[in-house]
Amino acid sequence: MRTRKIGSLEVSVVGLGCNNFGGRIDYDASAAVVHAALDAGVTFFDTADIYGGTKSEEFLGRALGARRTEVVVATKFGMQVDAERKGAKPDYVHRALDDSLRRLGTDHVDLFQLHAPDPETPIADTLGALGECVAAGKALEVGCSNFTVAQLRDAEAARSDPPAHFVSVQNEFSLLRRRAERDVLPECERAGLAFLPYFPLASGVLTGKYRRGQPPPPGTRLSGVKADEGPLADASLAAVERLTEFAARHGRSTVELAIAWIAAHPPVASVIAGATSPEQVHANVAAADWVLDDEEMIEIDELVPPPATA
């Protein structure tokens, strides 16, 4: 599989998002997903302390076992675990990392990410604590998530002791949620940041399993959403139909198109798609070798127009 860089880290262009572990699927199913990903050449695994009520990290660490050294493990902190465990104050940065290391069963995290900005803590203070984590060898690189351009620039300008800087930002991005093209993606190119997209399949809408005028299939992520509401609005599903036709003309699936299109954007390091079964892993990884050319990207823009510039 093709690889790209997140700071000093080398990762597979298709990664695995572990947000389903401990929530939608149990340990055995999670392990099956992890093993399928390893066998398919996936080397980037992204989780967070809050996923699965902290079970995701535990499941991932157990499933990797002795193969931990073969992969890049990323986790996140800062969103509320409970009344005490939240935010990005320096003391909590260290506690959150130690908790994650214990659950993952490892002595270091390759990429340690602030899950969301903490308005109560100066970013320089957080970066200082993260720098201490790097200096101690407990984290190799640090990144952030859900940051705006202004927040990224504040972090870039901050002076921390010891010095630390973000090498990546993880924000929402998909064919149906293209706002990042207007702001954060250009900022990543300017600042040399790796971009990690979450919800690359728009919470499953881009799998093609949802149909206009029909209730969501039972057991799916959006099974509680009414037809023609929210992510299942007719306009979105009509766009998916157009994209499905495009993919079919190329002998590909809608999932492969959704992932290949994201990977075609230069700042993107790895498309971290979730999975609840080995079959979904294989469907995601099938996109790894599809490199869309300029003409194809223009045609996709005609099918699903990009956001208007500010």
Q: Which residues are catalytic?
A: 51
Write the secondary structure of 170-196 as one string of H (helix), E (strand) and C (coil).
EEECECCECHHHCCHHHHHHHHCCEEE
Residue length of the chain: 310
Judged on CB neighbours under 10 Å (0-12, 13-18, 19+), 282 is middle
In the block, which residue shows the tokens 């959150």?
A: 96
Q: Within a 13 Å sphere around the CA of 5, how many CA atoms are in the beta-carbon half? A: 5
Amino acid in the structure at residue 190: R
Nearest to 135 by CA among 115, 111, 164: 164
**What phi, psi does 209 have (nearest 5°)?**
-80, -15
